[in-house]
Structure 1
Amino acid sequence: MPDDLDLLTAAAHEAGKIALEFWRREPQIWEKDAGAGPVTEADLAVNDYLAHTLLGARQDYGWLSEESTDDPARLDAARCFIIDPIDGTRAFIDGQEGFSHSLAVAQGERITAAVVYLPAMGLTYTARSGQPALLNGKEIRVRDASLDDADILASKAVMDPANWRDGQVPGFRRSFRPSLAWRLCLVAEGRFDATLSPRSTWEWDIAAGSLIAECAGATVTDMHGGPMRFNSARALVDGMVIAAPPLHATIQQRLALQPRI
């Protein structure tokens, strides 16, 4: 029987094949309720495949996915899959390459195995708890920088002065990528210095990437500097700060005491 990471990796690669069958081919699109964004027939096809494959292999695991109705039984499971079938759906719809499949296993509140796969770019990020993070089989590491010189992946919300002490936004450069999971991985491989979110983030967006970043040497916390906890009843984390330890410490010092969540 494959271990959890091998299982996730094989499933992610098959999911990529499914997604690419719809990519740039005008898939059907629906808008979710309450302004939750678009979903395509590709998201649903990938989700169905992953649920069938992963739960078929691990019938005692819980299941948390952006595209599945939440089953509270997952809270009682010792281990739980946390899945975003397609992270960056808007990029997928637009025909951009920067969408990913984000697959993770939580044991209790902690992520123990993780894969983020970008099929259009041929990028496979993987991590096992306590081992180095890998990109296409090669070890990756975070890089450090001063805050004012840092290149940080974040949405426009991070530039709100209310998120920073004394309303002073540091002089870092803000960059953006459509897949939140990929942002964490780009920090893990040292292509960017940090990623931030002052707003609550869904677990399925960051579960896999959080372990990959951690195994690459990043400090990974919520916006208050606390540990991320997964498979929670709300399925939300109170924002995130992910960076090499010295830069992470500086960011936490400069953030407002009560950041806007």
Structure 2
Amino acid sequence: MAHEPSSIPLGALDAARDAAIEAGRIALGYFRHGGKTSAGVSYKEGGSPVTEADLAVDRFLKKRLTDIAPAFGWLSEETADNAARLRRRHVWVVDPIDGTRSFARGDKDWTVALGLVEDGAPVAGFVYAPVQDVMYEALPGGPALRNGMEIRATGHATVERARIAGPGPILDAMQAARTPFQRMPRIHSLAYRLVHVAEGSVDGALASGRAHDWDLAAAHAIVAASGAVVQTTSGQPPAYNRPSTVHEPIVAASGALAADLARMLAAGPVARAAGHKDAIAGL
């Protein structure tokens, strides 16, 4: 079957970039460097926090992006899911504040993550770090950019001496297995962690088996445009806009390094630390 041509409205992605920057400014209104946010904080089922700022940014982006492209679906961490998105070819996939815990305590490693998915694959992404005023982006067929300048992943091919960022338990397990890598400081926003691969400041980034579409889609587009890959432990790119938004453990790195890291995350103590379903089941 021939692939249907893309039908992204003219100017929609430029407007989406502007919306991500404006969303960051809204969030900064509640942010306190090194201190507790001025926003009210509540907790979802399962204990993850959500602030007034998350909800304000979510409302702004939903209205702005729906106005930009009324035919597109919508999926956001802070909006009740609507199965109508499954019938849409294009879906905005949004995390209004990725790294809410960091945001709430006054740390700087949080972002606004805005991705566009087409037929289940990410085709454009914007990851904006408001505290640093840094925009990472990728448009269909274009390079990965950081504040308008092209960026590329390192292409580091082996775990040996690779600079790896990821959740503490995974890196602890890798170190316990005497894996010869360089452990990088924790980056709490997963989208921000992944785009560090795109800019070459880390060689590989890892995510446990609890990431959702909104944590990944925007950064996935940027990493892919930088020459690296985002893949699951089975070696496949994650698919988006499915009934379930939850993913198995994820690796972002150059192709060869990604394959090695994926194998590590799929078996043994590292897999258990990553929350791999087969490891949890004892398989």
- Contact 2:136-2:145 within 8 A present in 1 as well: yes
Answering whether residue 85 of structure 2 is matched by residue 74 of structure 1, we say yes
Deviation at 1:34, TM superposition (A): 2.2
In the other structure, the counterpart of 1:21 is 29
**What residue ranges of structure 2 are gaps of 5+ in the alignment?**
1-8, 278-283
In the other structure, the counterpart of 1:7 is 15
Deviation at 1:204, TM superposition (A): 0.2
Answering whether residue 147 of structure 2 is matched by residue 136 of structure 1, we say yes
- Contact 2:164-2:204 within 8 A present in 1 as well: yes
In the other structure, the counterpart of 2:261 is 251
Matches within 5 A, 1:165-244: 168=177, 170-175=179-184, 176-244=186-254
3-state SS of 2:169 partner: helix
The size of the alignment, in residue pairs, is 257
Distance 2:202 2:66 in 1: 35
- Contact 2:117-2:241 within 8 A present in 1 as well: yes
Q: 1:58 aligns with which of 66, 69, 73?
A: 69
- Contact 1:159-1:169 within 8 A present in 2 as well: no
- Contact 2:190-2:207 within 8 A present in 1 as well: no
- Contact 1:8-1:114 within 8 A present in 2 as well: no
Deviates most, 213-222 or 241-250: 241-250
Distance 2:201 2:257 in 1: 15
Q: Which amino acid aligns with 1:44?
A: L
User: RCO (CA 8 Å, sep 6+): is it higher in 1 or 2?
Assistant: 1
Matches within 5 A, 1:90-129: 90-129=101-140
Q: Which amino acid aligns with 2:261?
A: I
**What residue ranges of structure 1 are gaps of 5+ in the alignment?**
none
- Contact 2:249-2:265 within 8 A present in 1 as well: no
Matches within 5 A, 1:138-153: 138-145=149-156, 146-153=158-165
Distance 1:221 1:55 in 2: 30
> Compared with structure 1, are the counterparts of its residues 148 and 75 closer, same or farther at alpha carbon in structure 2 (3 Å cutoff)?
same
Deviates most, 237-246 or 66-75: 237-246
- Contact 1:30-1:38 within 8 A present in 2 as well: yes
User: What is the root-mean-square deviation in Å for CA atoms of aligned residues?
Assistant: 1.9
Distance 1:169 1:104 in 2: 37
Deviation at 1:257, TM superposition (A): 4.6
Deviation at 1:5, TM superposition (A): 2.2
Deviation at 1:254, TM superposition (A): 4.0
Distance 1:122 1:160 in 2: 32
In the other structure, the counterpart of 1:34 is 46
